[in-house]
Amino acid sequence: MAHYQIEDVSFQYPNCSEKTLDHITITIEEGEFVLLCGPSGSGKTTLLRQLKREVRPEGNRSGSIYYRGIGLDQLDERRSIEEIGMVFQDPDNQIVMNTVWQELTFGMENLGYSTAQMQRRVGELVQFFGMEEWLHLPIHELSGGQKQLVNLASVMTLRPRVLLLDEPTAQLDPIAAKEFIQLLSRINEEFSLTIIISEHRIEEVVPHATQLVMLNQGQIAYLGTPDQVMKQIWKDEDALFLPYLPSIGRLYLEIEKASDARAVPMSVKEGRRWLAGKQEQRQAAGKSLSESVKVDWEQVEPLLTCKELYFTYDKNAPLVLKRLSLSIHEGEFFALLGANGSGKSTLLQQIAGAHKPQRGDILYAGKSLLRKSTVERSRMIGYVAQNPMLYFTRDTVREQLMDRLRRLSEHSSIEKLNELVARFDVESIMDKHPFDISGGQQQKIALMLVLLADPKLLLLDEPTKGLDPISKHRLAELLEMIRAGGTTIVMVSHDIEFAASYASRCGLLFNGAMVAVEDTRSFLQSNYFYTTTIHRTVGDVLPEAITVKDVWEQWGN
Amino acid sequence: MIHGFSTLHPRLCFAYFAVLLLSCMMFTHPVYSVLTLLSIVLLNLSLDGGRLLKKGIKGYLIMAIIIFLLNPFFSSRGATILWYVFDRPITLESIIYGALFALSLLNILLAFVAYNLVITPEKLLYLLTPIAPRTAFIITVTLRFVPLLTRRLKHIMTVQRVLGYLHPKASKKHFMREGMETLHTLISWSLEEALQTASSMRARGYGVGKRTSAVSYKMDKRDVLVSWIMVVTGANIVIGGLFGVNRFQVYPRLQSLEWSPQIWLHAACYLVFIFIPIVMNGKEELLWRTIRSKM
């Protein structure tokens, strides 16, 4: 008997003209690892929420969902809570209690387990999840990755048979995300738990998945094993889903044309094995990359110079920035990479003027920024924080933008706003509440609020976090457009693939200082860990290649 | 940290502090007050080496001294007039009363320092849960959301500062208006996020049935022994106190210290009771010393 049978399910939110889910039929066997993909707004979250009665949204529902042959509505309440576990996107929002220990027992306390039972289950679980060290810490002292582990563990205390996960790693950094996915795969392997996960970072999840479901506008676009689906997307040349393909898989399909029956390689190891068998391609490797006009950024006049910055948040806290020096040149797109907590965001906020450095100076076009007032500064430098929600104080997008315009008075104009609205293509959402639009759209609005002041320098804090591949691509186009308009961009990011494709220079921040600053290609070439999967796969054959495009240029025809 | 008294069953710890605090408030006998002060200081020292005590002691002492000095000037009760200040009689009784009052206030304040070290929020919640489960739950959730909201507020303020809305030179009125905007953002954002919190609570069965508690403290042998001692001596203290065995009169005329058999017994019980934690912690301390010297 199938674990889940989703039969012809359609769903429509109240006051919504279109169906969010449109005749979905999927059968999921026990122990499967199902990956749900699709652009934001395609109905992934809605579909996941249909699978657990307690979190089902209100609306018009048709079709039926069976859990082990029982209609979801007939399922016993306790069984539904215990056997179907759900983990949501934001690590912070789902935590209710104050300490890790309390949070772990929350579900069991609700269901009236005995104390002895709870102690035993927590005891077992803490070992498996490796959280002995921080079991008694208050939640606010944990990192995002740890919080998400707590959320998963808290659901696991009820010994579920299915895990539903709604973009669980969207808010995590790549390392924490990888650890989380590996843990999920372990749970899947060792307990044969059925896992249904929606995710944008398909590269990490796809090697574990047994079924891949691609959703588009509430309908199933593709369904099958990852291998089948990827080949099918390639054959259809589906522009909407091509960006979803992991880069190694994409490279394979570009070269092999999906002609043979072999499986698409998904990891660097498989990719290298495949390449090793392609001797004849190595011969062609002599062809060098057609260098697009290469700019020597060091020669360009620096727009912004950080001189030996020292900064700490508190008298007794360790230094976040230690003698940090950095020059940003006019017209470039600079990507600032580095581990979590290395001070990337702090540096960005320093430049933006949120905090003053304890020592050192920041020069903007040769003049010190520290003596300028924050109002003056905010017109020269635009800063877009990680979370666009921070920018919204009004009830509609239009009011929000008009408010900003009013505050800027003579420094901006309604023409400027109209131009931005047209360029960013947001006319359709102008009268919606800023909280009701998608994450990508929210980010656009935050970007517009900042751009209204027409800054010469734009600072972006993790702009690609939580975005689907298509939104990422659109963002890149927008940034390219902004850059063409004469604005210099500095971006903090964990997304190496994004930086590889679009940034002109990259820098690595470590231990409070810049340890490497080079143009993107040579930066990624000389890195071993901090580089793209493509470079790791083809690096010894094509040392210059860092993206699929590069390889294609050298091997193509 | 010494794991003596603090590891007792929370109910016993709580009962100890209840009796101690009541005694501080009710008993005015100078010998009792001095004994109490001694025991509380020793208790604080044995708990954390007096670190928390050191933080607040200055303020507490100043408060006690002010009361001690001011009482004679405001109260002219008492029969033994010592001298006159601005035509107001200063009496021996009012000085003594001021001293005793200051001492018992100091005792209460210091007892609360020790209380905070022993009764952690977790223990307090455990004690509260059977009486008021909903309140206990709300307190826990509040403890979680205070740091969360503070952090969110900081993020919002950073953004507002960078946008040039919040700047140090702005007028008060401007600052107030921007402050309201900040709060508006914080509240609407947090409400939006709270919807997810509610989903997550429902998903894990909140409100399905009666909640149980994962934390449990069982009475072990030591707890039973200590609770017997506490019951016997505590009953003596309370009954004696009610009958006024240890009553000490200051007004209208200072009473001399009289020692009847009853008060001897009562004082002995009080001594045993208030020194329970010190004996327990002291035993532990000694144990460590002997272990260390044997190594």
Q: Is A122 on the interface with B (CB under 8 A)?
A: yes
Residue B10 scores a pLDDT above 60: yes
A449/B199 Cβ within 8 A: no
A108/B214 Cβ within 8 A: yes
Nearest CA-CA distance, residue B188 and chain A, Å: 8
Interface contacts (A, B; CB < 8 Å): 159
Q: Is A67 on the interface with B (CB under 8 A)?
A: no
Helix, strand, coil content of chain A in percent (nearest 5) = 40, 20, 35
Per-residue confidence band for A128, with pLDDT thresholds at 50, 70 and 90: very high
Per-residue confidence band for A120, with pLDDT thresholds at 50, 70 and 90: very high
Return the closest-CA partner of residue B273 out of B236, B248, B219, B223.
B236
B252 upstream amide cis, omega within 30 of 0: yes
Task: Select the highest-mean-pLDDT range: A387-401, B132-146, B267-281.
Answer: B267-281
Q: Is A17 on the interface with B (CB under 8 A)?
A: no
Per-residue pLDDT reduced to its tens digit, A396-436: 999 999 999 888 888 888 888 998 898 888 888 899 899 88
A92/B193 Cβ within 8 A: yes
Which chain B residue shows the shortest CA-CA distance from A104?
A: B214
The region of weakest confidence among A139-153, A253-267, B4-18 is: A253-267
Q: Is A155 on the interface with B (CB under 8 A)?
A: yes
Per-residue pLDDT reduced to its tens digit, B144-195: 888 889 999 999 988 888 888 877 677 888 888 888 888 888 998 899 889 9
Which chain A residue shows the shortest CA-CA distance from B164?
A: A375
Partners of A67 in the β-ladder: A4, A70
Among A55, A96, A378, whose Cβ lies nearest the Cβ of B164? A378
DSSP string computed for A445-476? HHHHHHHTT--SEEEEESTTTT--HHHHHHHH
C-alpha to C-alpha distance for A555 and A551, rounded to whole angstroms: 6
| Contact list, A389 vs chain B (CB under 8 Å) | 185, 189, 192
Q: Is A390 on the interface with B (CB under 8 A)?
A: yes
Measured CA distances, A478 to A42, A329, A432, A474, A475 (Å)? 22, 20, 22, 6, 5
Q: Which of residues 436-495 of A touch B (CB under 8 A)?
A: 449-450
Encode A491-522: b = buried (16+ Cβ within 10 Å), e = exposed: bbbbbbbbbbbbbbbbbbbeebbbeebbbbbe
DSSP string computed for A234-294? HHHT-TTTGGGS-HHHHHHHHHHTT-SSSPPP-SHHHHHHHHHT-HHHHHGGGPPP-----
| Contact list, A114 vs chain B (CB under 8 Å) | 212
| Contact list, A55 vs chain B (CB under 8 Å) | 199, 202-203
C-alpha to C-alpha distance for A386 and A467, rounded to whole angstroms: 12
Per-residue confidence band for A266, with pLDDT thresholds at 50, 70 and 90: confident
Nearest CA-CA distance, residue A98 and chain B, Å: 4
* CA-based radius of gyration for chain A: 25
- Beta strands at A333-338 and A488-492: parallel, antiparallel or unpaired: parallel
Q: Residue by residue, what is the 3-state secondary structure of chain B?
A: CCCCHHHCCHHHHHHHHHHHHHHHHHCCCHHHHHHHHHHHHHHHHHHHCCHHHHHHHHHHHHHHHHHHHHHHHHCCCCCCEEEEECCEEEEHHHHHHHHHHHHHHHHHHHHHHHHHHHCCHHHHHHHHHHHCHHHHHHHHHHHHHHHHHHHHHHHHHHHHHHCCCCCCCCCHHHHHHHHHHHHHHHHHHHHHHHHHHHHHHHHCCCCCCCCCCCCCCCCCHHHHHHHHHHHHHHHHHHHHHHHCCCCCCCCCCCCCCCCCHHHHHHHHHHHHHHCHHHHHHHHHHHHHHHHHHHC
A391/B144 Cβ within 8 A: no
Per-residue pLDDT reduced to its tens digit, A247-263: 888 888 888 776 667 78
What is the per-residue pLDDT for A165? 96
Per-residue pLDDT reduced to its tens digit, A271-322: 888 888 776 655 555 556 655 556 777 777 889 999 999 999 888 888 899 9
Which chain A residue shows the shortest CA-CA distance from B217?
A: A115
Query: Residue A383 — φ and ψ, nearest 5°?
Result: -130, 125
What is the per-residue pLDDT for A374? 78
Nearest CA-CA distance, residue B192 and chain A, Å: 8
- For tokens 């122990």, name the residue: A31
Q: In one letter, which amino acid is A530?
A: Y
C-alpha to C-alpha distance for B44 and B46, rounded to whole angstroms: 5
B156/A94 Cβ within 8 A: no
* Cα B90–chain centre separation: 34
Tokens standing for residue B129: 């849960």
Q: What's the residue count for chain A?
A: 557
Q: Where is pLDDT greater, at B208 or A187? A: A187
A118/B188 Cβ within 8 A: no
C-alpha to C-alpha distance for B168 and B160, rounded to whole angstroms: 12
Nearest CA-CA distance, residue B214 and chain A, Å: 5
What is the per-residue pLDDT for B128? 87
What is the per-residue pLDDT for B44? 93
Average pLDDT (A44-52) is: 93
Residue B200 scores a pLDDT above 60: yes
Residue A5 scores a pLDDT above 70: yes
Among B144, B199, B205, whose Cβ lies nearest the Cβ of A88? B199
Q: Name the 3-class secondary structure at A434.
A: helix
B197/A77 Cβ within 8 A: no
Partners of A196 in the β-ladder: A34, A164
What is the per-residue pLDDT for A258? 62
What is the per-residue pLDDT for B74? 86
C-alpha to C-alpha distance for B95 and A204, rounded to whole angstroms: 78
Residues 6+ apart with CB under 8 A from A282: A541
Half-sphere exposure of residue A516: CA atoms within 13 angstroms, side-chain side: 16
Per-residue pLDDT reduced to its tens digit, A489-532: 999 998 888 999 999 999 999 988 999 999 998 899 888 888 88
Which chain B residue shows the shortest CA-CA distance from A82?
A: B204
What is the per-residue pLDDT for A243? 87
pTM: 0.84
A138/B199 Cβ within 8 A: no
Q: What's the residue count for chain B?
A: 295
C-alpha to C-alpha distance for A344 and A318, rounded to whole angstroms: 15
Return the closest-CA partner of residue A374 out of A349, A346, A390, A352.
A352
Average pLDDT (B214-226) is: 89
C-alpha to C-alpha distance for A153 and A87, rounded to whole angstroms: 10
What is the per-residue pLDDT for A291? 57
Interface test with B, best of A83, A95, A104, A389 (most B CBs within 10 A): A389
Among B155, B159, B212, whose Cβ lies nearest the Cβ of A114? B212
- For tokens 């939640």, name the residue: A139
End-to-end Cα separation, chain B, in angstroms = 21
Nearest CA-CA distance, residue B95 and chain A, Å: 46
A98/B204 Cβ within 8 A: no
Per-residue pLDDT reduced to its tens digit, A178-236: 899 999 999 999 999 999 999 888 888 998 999 999 999 999 999 999 999 998 998 88
Nearest CA-CA distance, residue A283 and chain B, Å: 54
Residue A485 in contact with residue A447, Cβ under 8 Å?
A: no
User: Average model confidence (pLDDT) for chain A?
Assistant: 88
Q: Counting Cβ atoms within 10 Å, is residue A418 exposed (0-12), middle (13-18) or buried (19+)?
A: exposed
* Cα A232–chain centre separation: 25
